[in-house]
Structure 1
Amino acid sequence: MRRLPGPALFAAVLLATAVTAAPAGAETATGYIVLLDENAPVTSVAAELGVPPEHVYESSVRGYSAKMTPSDAARIAGDPRVKLVQPDGEVTTTAQTLPTGIDRIDADLSPTAKIDGKDERVDVDVAVIDTGIDLDHPDLNVHTAGAKNCSTGQNADDGNGHGTHVAGTIGALDNDAGVVGVAPGARVWPVRVLGNSGSGSWSDVICGIDYVTAHAKEIEVANMSLGGTGTDSKCGTNTDAMHEAICRSVAAGVTYVVAAGNSAVEATNFVPATYEEVITVSALADFNGKPDGGAASTCRKDEDDTFADFSNYGADVDIIAPGVCILSTWPKGQMYNTISGTSMASPHVAGAAALHKAKNPTAKPADVQAALVKAGTDKWTTSTDPDKKPEPLLNVAKF
């Protein structure tokens, strides 16, 4: 992906730069992320440095997270075994308020999805790095044995709804009940990195990426409908711990699909959307699942068949998918809900990536990205893209 120059705003979090010195008079212990040399024994080094770790990372990156004072952070940053000490930060979901989307991307025509009301499940595994998933939802194939909780609560059960909604768009069962996903019956792995409020920390997110990387031989695709402010970097420069983790995870074979963000600005200052190694997804406003526009708005005001008025845009965005008034699964009795956001566009693409991997199991993440972009169409009102360089609209008819 190319990066557009110029600033962009996103009202979420600040991904701070590496620590070089302790600010005077600021000795309250807060969260930090520490990256170590490749051969450093994480637990023993953390103990030696005098700060007990919270999360320990050993698969995507080598390091840990911990609460410490700025003075401790500056001291640890000077240790020769330490590559990076980075302040932790908050990350939130990118949902707004929200399956025409399944119709619009022609998932019902996919020979791999085989959407016909018969519960024949797509043999693929997708990690949902999010608020968790309703572990008991009857319309989802939840891989409960693979659940991971990196956030608050006792397990990876969803106390918010966002992760369950994402999971449904990816793989709700084709069983003549409720809704159907892009890759029906795909095994969805609940990787909880956000709490019930829909927010969390970068260290929790890295914990989730680390877990996915440890299971890269099983998990083909990971969806991240979350993010915050930050800038791009190059793999191996050790300037951004989350980016390093994603770089290693992609190198291990996992395809990452992420939301572009909902600030109606360029995605260049929004992570992970700006990272080159991920598939970044913007949102289309579509109210009837059909091209050509003219349908009345439903759950929120926007114009049918246009670039969603909240969606981030720019050169970092790879593909566009439906993200307005999307019906999908919801936890704890409600069963289904309609919400909007690039968070809802991203799992359409994650489901498409799952279909491609089910059909082409040896495809690398870059191959998956290229296949999705090539299969996309221009059958939407492309003139409404704010940067006038419209992305292809996701289409899975031949997957």
Structure 2
Amino acid sequence: MRHLVGKSLLASVLLAAVLPAAPGHADARTSAYIVVLADGVATSSVTADHAVTVDHVYSSALRGYSGRMTAATAARLARDPRVVLVQPDGVATTTAQTTPTGIDRIDAELSPTAAIDGTDQRVTVDVAVIDTGVDLDHPDLNVYTAGAKNCSTGKSADDGNGHGTHVAGTIGALDNGVGVVGVAPGARIWPVRVLNAQGSGSFSDIICGIDYVTAHANEIEVANMSLGGSGSDSACGTNKDAMHEAICRSVAAGVTYVVAAGNSAANSSTFVPAAYDEVITVSALADFNGQPGGGAAATCRTDVDDTFADFSNYGPDVDLIAPGVCILSTWKGGGYNTISGTSMASPHTAGGAALYKATHPTASPATVKSALQAAGTDNWNTGTDPDATHERLLNVATF
């Protein structure tokens, strides 16, 4: 599978052979060519001798012209001693910014706060990515390196896996005309590394990350946790689960937590932090074209368009569904990648929470969750949900 960075700059030269037409079968079709002349040769002196429709005349960077002609004429020109080069014209495209399908599907491009238009105007909000770290100098991310924290292996919060950088891009990749764009473009990303380069980590490392975020709760509005392990829910204050107690206190401090439901096609009640009531738990939608209605062909993996992703966890603990299949986003090493999982659905929602907090800075985590659910839609194939609780699809058009 090849992953593209938006649209690559290309100069694809047409490789049609420049051959004379067969006798008695002259080909009158014309194509575009570029003709470079020897120094001192006037364009008019050459075009007068050959049947050419001239488009551009070059006189500074080089001497020559472009125009339309038949293959036979191009062949004759190539043999003319006054001509240095006859080259089929090529095609180039801009290095344009790509709007990932997930951004389109949740209507982030309609959000007045996101204001996605290719101009780098950043959403003023801080989001912690509790993950494998983040590429600290990725050109398409607003990474707050002074706020980086490493609770895992190594000495740096720099991403050794790619997963955390991908999450960060979906949340807040810059609206700068290149690469991709996130749900809350330019949101300030706090890299909190709790997983190693293989994408695993201990609960104690994760609690270290939660503890760090809580210490900065006056600055960090939203935290994303696209990770999980075995466990179950408990009530805050019962001291039965250290990670839950940490999240309870962090949420009480004002941080909105968004987490992945999990990728085991099972009930999320046996996975933490997905089972916790205080977080926003997100399942994954399979969407291949950013549009409702279904019917789009699968791209990076086999699934059915506009349906509950075949790998996604489900159950009453799930609060929202968001795109999580074949999501293009930023990657370690300054690159981009397309991957799938509820890990990709969660940051769409974290980006939505960031948009809401940007315009409702005093909103509590419970209020943020309610607002996201209220703005959601049922404009997806809810009949494919494995359980009776059909979560609403994230939509941020009004945020």
One-letter amino acid matched to 1:196: A
Structure 2 SS opposite 1:361: coil
Q: Distance in 2 between matches of 1:143 and 1:345?
A: 23
Q: Distance in 1 between matches of 2:218 and 2:240?
A: 27
Q: Distance in 2 between matches of 1:285 and 1:332?
A: 27
1:182-229, Cα deviation, whole Å (9 max, x unpaired): 000000000000000000100000000000000000000000000011
Residue aligning to 1:269: 270
What are the equivalent positions in structure 2 for 1:54-133 lying under 5 Å apart? 99-133=100-134
Gaps of 5+ in 1: 1-98
Q: Distance in 1 between matches of 2:209 and 2:338?
A: 26
2:330 matched to 1:315? no
Q: Distance in 2 between matches of 1:389 and 1:125?
A: 32
One-letter amino acid matched to 1:284: L
Q: Distance in 2 between matches of 1:364 and 1:332?
A: 36
Structure 2 SS opposite 1:210: helix
Deviation, 1:154, is: 1.2
The alignment-based identity, stated in percent, is 81
Residue aligning to 1:205: 206
Deviation, 1:105, is: 0.1
Structure 1 SS opposite 2:223: strand
Structure 2 SS opposite 1:299: coil
Residue aligning to 1:258: 259
Q: Distance in 1 between matches of 2:151 and 2:387?
A: 37
Residue aligning to 1:397: 397
Deviation, 1:389, is: 2.0
1:44-64, Cα deviation, whole Å (9 max, x unpaired): xxxxxxxxxxxxxxxxxxxxx
Deviation, 1:332, is: 1.1
Q: Distance in 1 between matches of 2:115 and 2:165?
A: 22
Deviation, 1:296, is: 0.1
What is the Cα-based RMSD across aligned positions, in Å? 0.4
Q: Distance in 2 between matches of 1:330 and 1:124?
A: 22
What are the equivalent positions in structure 2 for 1:287-302 lying under 5 Å apart? 287-302=288-303
Structure 1 SS opposite 2:161: coil
Q: Distance in 2 between matches of 1:157 and 1:389?
A: 39
What are the equivalent positions in structure 2 for 1:214-233 lying under 5 Å apart? 214-233=215-234
2:348 matched to 1:344? no
Q: Distance in 2 between matches of 1:200 and 1:370?
A: 31
One-letter amino acid matched to 1:369: K
Q: Distance in 2 between matches of 1:181 and 1:148?
A: 22
Q: Distance in 2 between matches of 1:207 and 1:114?
A: 35
Residue aligning to 1:331: 332
Q: Distance in 1 between matches of 2:322 and 2:388?
A: 17
Q: Distance in 2 between matches of 1:359 and 1:308?
A: 32
Q: Distance in 2 between matches of 1:244 and 1:154?
A: 27
2:351 matched to 1:354? no
Residue aligning to 2:26: none
Q: Distance in 2 between matches of 1:347 and 1:129?
A: 11
What are the equivalent positions in structure 2 for 1:4-19 lying under 5 Å apart? none
Q: Distance in 2 between matches of 1:120 and 1:186?
A: 10
One-letter amino acid matched to 1:206: I
Residue aligning to 1:376: 376
Residue aligning to 1:159: 160
TM-score normalised to structure 1 length: 0.75
Q: Distance in 1 between matches of 2:229 and 2:356?
A: 29
TM-score normalised to structure 2 length: 0.75
1:91-145, Cα deviation, whole Å (9 max, x unpaired): xxxxxxxx10000000000000000000000000000000000001000000000
Structure 1 SS opposite 2:361: coil
Structure 2 SS opposite 1:284: strand
2:363 matched to 1:363? yes
One-letter amino acid matched to 2:219: E
1:332-373, Cα deviation, whole Å (9 max, x unpaired): 15x100000000000000000000000100000000000000
Deviation, 1:253, is: 0.1
2:144 matched to 1:147? no
Q: Distance in 2 between matches of 1:235 and 1:389?
A: 24
Gaps of 5+ in 2: 1-99
Deviation, 1:153, is: 1.0
One-letter amino acid matched to 2:378: D
Deviation, 1:388, is: 2.8
1:141-194, Cα deviation, whole Å (9 max, x unpaired): 000000000000111000000000000000000001000000000000000000
Q: Distance in 2 between matches of 1:234 and 1:194?
A: 26
Select the structure with the greater relative contact order (CA < 8 A; seq sep ≥ 6). Answer: 1
One-letter amino acid matched to 2:368: V
Q: Distance in 1 between matches of 2:364 and 2:388?
A: 30
Structure 2 SS opposite 1:282: strand
Residue aligning to 2:176: 175
Q: Distance in 2 between matches of 1:250 and 1:111?
A: 27
Q: Distance in 1 between matches of 2:103 and 2:385?
A: 22
- Pairs aligned (count): 300
Residue aligning to 1:22: none
Q: Distance in 2 between matches of 1:316 and 1:277?
A: 10
Larger radius of gyration: 2
